[in-house]
Amino acid sequence: MTTIHVFEPALCCNTGVCGPDVDQALVDFTADLGHLQGLGADVQRHNLANDPSAFADSDTVRAFLKVAGSDGLPLTLVDGLTVMTGAYPAREQLMRYAGLGSERQGLSTPAGAGGLGLTEKSGGCCGPTGCC
């Protein structure tokens, strides 16, 4: 099963959905994570303030922080590979990363190679015939 890890900057609480000025992106992301977890996806969220050991334990995250610093967060990894930086993934992206297909299109089939939508049958840039 695909594992998604989202490494976030230091937030006031585990979700960042607290206080008088709540960031709508955090509200949406928290709901999206709950939705995916309800579907059985392995999605983990790591807040720099509350879970610093997760940052320290990952070579990829440590290297990212050396280059971009915490200003580059959030960082999304799928099976250890960086797939997104600087913004939270939308629900459709998370669904694709998890290999759950496209919710918008009503598909329930896996998205393919690592959940990233890369399949031999997709035709890539060459179209459905596979020739360039």
Report pLDDT digits (tens) over 9-39: 988 766 666 666 777 888 899 999 999 999 9
Both tokens of residue 128? 């459905």
CA distances from 99 to 46, 47, 129 (A): 21, 24, 24
In this predicted model, what pLDDT tens digit does every residue of 72-101 receive, in sequence order?
A: 999 999 999 999 999 999 999 999 999 997
Mean model confidence pLDDT for the chain: 80
The band of 119, judged by pLDDT with boundaries at 50, 70 and 90, is: very low
Task: Return all residues near 92 (Cβ < 8 A) that are at least 6 apart.
Answer: 102, 103, 104
Range from 2-6, 10-14, 58-62, 76-80 carrying the lowest mean pLDDT:
10-14
**Measured between alpha carbons, how far is 122 from 105 in angstroms, rounded to an integer?**
16
